[in-house]
Chains A and B, each alone.
Chain A
Amino acid sequence: GEDVEQSLFLSVREGDSSVINCTYTDSSSTYLYWYKQEPGAGLQLLTYIFSNMDMKQDQRLTVLLNKKDKHLSLRIADTQTGDSAIYFCAESIRSSNYQLIWGAGTKLIIKP
């Protein structure tokens, strides 16, 4: 079945770039999403990329999609303490009534 994988933790120094990686298995994905969950809160959509795109940039965020390797990454430039959160990768596949297939989430830890 479909599967989305991400590492559980990432630790970076404040001011450095963070790169959170995600791999997925279903090649029929239409959209791929990055959601952010701050402590004690629900999930908020951070950004998304359509499956026919390679890259999307939005201020400090850069999303890269490698369809051949089924690899998605989220780069956060100049990481700040406010970026501390859990980041979830998810894919939307048309065959599943627009359910999302979720990764387990990567906890981003910022070191001063």
Chain B
Amino acid sequence: DVKVTQSSRYLVKRTGEKVFLECVQDMDHENMFWYRQDPGLGLRLIYFSYDVKMKEKGDIPEGYSVSREKKERFSLILESASTNQTSMYLCASSPTNTGEQFFGPGTRLTVL
């Protein structure tokens, strides 16, 4: 079974803090994705990566950065957290030859 794990299920941070969200997949997938999910807005793509050290901006990259130093790990970084970044963050991975994405359980981040 494909497994995508995220470092935390729940996280509470203060405005201005630097936040790291980690995602690890064990199926040797080339593609990895970070989304945020807000009620009524569905999934919005923040960044994705199609190879180690490669990244591309999604629809809402402002205020975020990413790092992919190893194939299995994709990190999302909030350089200076703000209250409007309170959200559910979902990581996903997919193999190159198909669009099917496999999701982690999500991290619910609250920024106070």
Contact = CB atoms under 8 A, between A and B. Distances in A.
Contacts, number: 57
A98 B31 contact: yes
A43 B90 contact: yes
Nearest to B48: A99
A4 to B, nearest CB: 9
A102 B99 contact: no
B106 A41 contact: yes
A102 B100 contact: no
Interface residues of B, number: 25
Interface of A: 8, 30-31, 33, 35, 40-45, 48, 88, 90, 92, 97-100, 102-105
Contacts of B101: 43, 45, 100
13 contacts: A31-B98, A41-B106, A43-B90, A43-B103, A45-B100, A45-B101, A97-B31, A98-B94, A98-B96, A99-B33, A99-B45, A103-B42, A104-B41
Q: Is the interface of A mostly helix, strand, loop or mixed?
A: strand
A104 B94 contact: no
Identify the interface centre among A41, A88, A92, A98: most chain B CB within 10 Å of its CB.
A98
Interface string B34-74: 00000011110100101000001010000000000000000
Nearest to B101: A100
